[in-house]
Structure 1
Amino acid sequence: MSYSAPSQITQRQLAYFEGKHVLIAGELIDDFPIELDKHCASTSIFTTNYAYYQQFSEHQSIKCHFGAELVEDTNADMILLYWPKAKAEAEYLLTMLLAKLGKDTEIVVVGENRSGVKSIEKMFADLGPINKFDSARRCSFYWGECTKNVPTFTLQDWFKEYQVQFKEHTIEVRSLPGVFSHGEFDKGSELLLQTLPSLRGHVLDFGCGAGVLGSVMKTLNPKIHLDMVDISALAIASSIETLKANGIEGNVFASDVYSNTKENYQFIVSNPPFHAGLKTHYSSTEELLKKAPQNLTHQGQLILVANSFLQYPPIIENAFGHCETLAKNNKFKIYSAQK
């Protein structure tokens, strides 16, 4: 079994988990929970990643929770936190999970050094002792214990609010930590919106993030039927709040690319992700492009924005037989293809 570097360093320290009820959270990408479950009293997972949730949802001995917040009861007495790429997301997860589990919870934090995992020392300082006990494969392994009373957690307090101006419209955006374009209007999304034609029929906003694209599209084209999907529960919660803040109707739901979507879209519009954690990752976008024709109606259209260096045109050409560049600047290009 091949594990990620953070899981490999955790595997070296299995003694910390003996007899514990362990709740795993954060940037977890492999099957290490199955290995860990052999050494714990029980193992459970909290994930904001829908694909990872699907992977473990039918597992017999490991309970997997998906959402922006852990609302189910748990008997966990230890948290194993895989440090995410965004420090703000790490703080969010830590605060939320400790508020759920309470005082006397043990915590293990593991992550790549370049991700800023050392920040846990300062972040945890007011909660109890935490120390680094191992270092390998450019990763660090911390163990600590929450010895102080934990502040209550209220999800609404974690939304960052900002405004996006587009043409004569003002969109109120509400975004949780770890969500793309958290606190700012992405320049790629702005170029995409400037380039979009008038929309009609069923429209899919793939990788909806904080809901900026979907909200602007529905504002400019109020008669469309809008679906907004993302793999991240934090993005789903953010988009729902953004729609609510602007009085906009839309269907927002989790989907691993097309796993939960329809097959009759007139438009698929996307500012697709190309990072998974700290690594560049293209597989979900490649699937989006390759399978777009079978998810579009007759003469349906795919429109997306991408960094100029990304080699998406050959994939689009292979799927549609052609690929047009509708607009470009020094950083982004807008690609389109019609079925």
Structure 2
Amino acid sequence: MSAYIAPSQIAQRQLEYFNGKHVLVAGEVEDLFPLELVAHCKSVEVFTSNYSYYRQIRNSDKIKSYFGSEFDTDTQADMLLLYWPKAKAEAEYLLAMLMAKLGVNTEIIVVGENRSGVKSIEKMFKEYGPVNKYDSARRCSFYWGTCLNEPKPFYQAEWFKSYTVNLGEQALTIKSLPGVFSHGEFDLGSQLLLETLPPLAGKVLDFGCGAGVLGAFMAKANPGIEIEMCDINAYAITSSQATLAANGVSGHVFASDIYSDTAKDYRFIISNPPFHSGLDTNYNAAESLLGNAPQHLIREGEMIIVANSFLKYPPIIEQAFNNCETLNKTNKFSIYSAKKS
């Protein structure tokens, strides 16, 4: 069994493409293949929007790594290795940003699972130059191409989608970048959660803040609270900051890998927890979120979450808190609450 994900395994079969290159790795990379690449390249840099992956790779002295929603550092990269992301809009965003940064004559290698739509690169790369498929294995494809046309300048501000959410008295402007949960639309689970929330006080954590809908709404509806918002995704953090600014409310938005960077003195933890990892359902992050929540709440603190009704969350919550109440329910979503005793 290889320790690498399938897209890395197909890249590993084609190491001669990387010889002597300065490689920038970006996109949905999840393993330590970039460390192996070092032996074949002049230099390797990694740009990731995933804070969990960044924490894993940032301590390596072999490569430089960057976490953020925009790669705006000086680089000598002459090749981009792009791991195809699961959202097509994110792929477009990454290409526009990185090609503008790296410029003409940059070589590109794209690897990805066929079911994630990697074939779209054929059309998407046309404006930059030729790209062709050179290998396929393990239901993945390997593309190589070169940027021959001058890329357009990149302005992040142009990539935000703006939409309005009306809930009760409140009208909110939401800003979101590609690849962010509820990009360009208001999620029905979040709506049910906001309609169900009690009045809030004290320090409140919006866990997995996405585009910032929950955090901005809570801050506006409860002006006295101290709002903190965290996410594992850099696009989400930038989007939430833009959403807060657009609505004239302030809060502390930061990256956290589950509870890695959060405080331990919240009065409320509010969340629409993510349960998708890649293209599959993943309970791990949600289980840690629910199971470890009491350690991050003050006495009498409360966690309130929304979840798809089919997810087996109540037993996990019950085990962590010794209580779990269903505050609201539709045929699709349930709102659960648990209090720290």
TM range (shorter): over 0.9
1: CA distance, partners of 2:257 / 2:173: 27
Secondary structure in 2 aligned to 1:135?
strand
CA RMSD of superposed structures (Å): 0.8
> What's the offset of the Cα at 1:282?
2.0
Partner of 1:113: 114
Equivalent residue letter for 1:204: L
Given the two structures, how large is their TM-score scaled by the length of structure 1? Answer: 0.99
Partner of 1:287: 288
Q: Percent identity?
A: 64
The structure 1 segments of at least 4 consecutive aligned residues displaced by more than 4 Å after TM superposition are: none
Partner of 2:43: 42
Partner of 2:207: 206
Partner of 1:300: 301
> What's the offset of the Cα at 1:281?
1.7
Partner of 2:22: 21
> Is 2:97 the counterpart of 1:81?
no
> What's the offset of the Cα at 1:295?
0.3
Partner of 1:72: 73
1: CA distance, partners of 2:38 / 2:333: 45
Give the paired residue count: 339
Partner of 1:311: 312
Matched-pair contact (CA < 8 Å) for 2:32–2:57: no
Summarize deviations over 1:89-137 as a string: whole Å, max 9, x none. 0010011011111110000011111111110000001111100001111
> Is 2:58 the counterpart of 1:57?
yes
> What's the offset of the Cα at 1:34?
1.2
2: CA distance, partners of 1:16 / 1:233: 30
Secondary structure in 2 aligned to 1:180?
coil
Summarize deviations over 1:220-260 as a string: whole Å, max 9, x none. 11100000000011000000000000000110011111111
Partner of 1:11: 12
2: CA distance, partners of 1:211 / 1:126: 33
Partner of 2:275: 274
> What's the offset of the Cα at 1:48?
0.4
Secondary structure in 2 aligned to 1:52?
helix
Given the two structures, how large is their TM-score scaled by the length of structure 2? Answer: 0.98
> What's the offset of the Cα at 1:43?
0.7
Summarize deviations over 1:16-45 as a string: whole Å, max 9, x none. 101111100001111111111111111110
Partner of 2:193: 192
> What's the offset of the Cα at 1:313?
1.1
Secondary structure in 1 aligned to 2:209?
coil
> What's the offset of the Cα at 1:196?
0.6
Partner of 1:257: 258
Q: Which runs of 5+ in 2 are unaligned?
A: none
Summarize deviations over 1:25-71 as a string: whole Å, max 9, x none. 00111111111111111111000011111111111011001111011
> What's the offset of the Cα at 1:194?
0.8
Partner of 1:156: 157
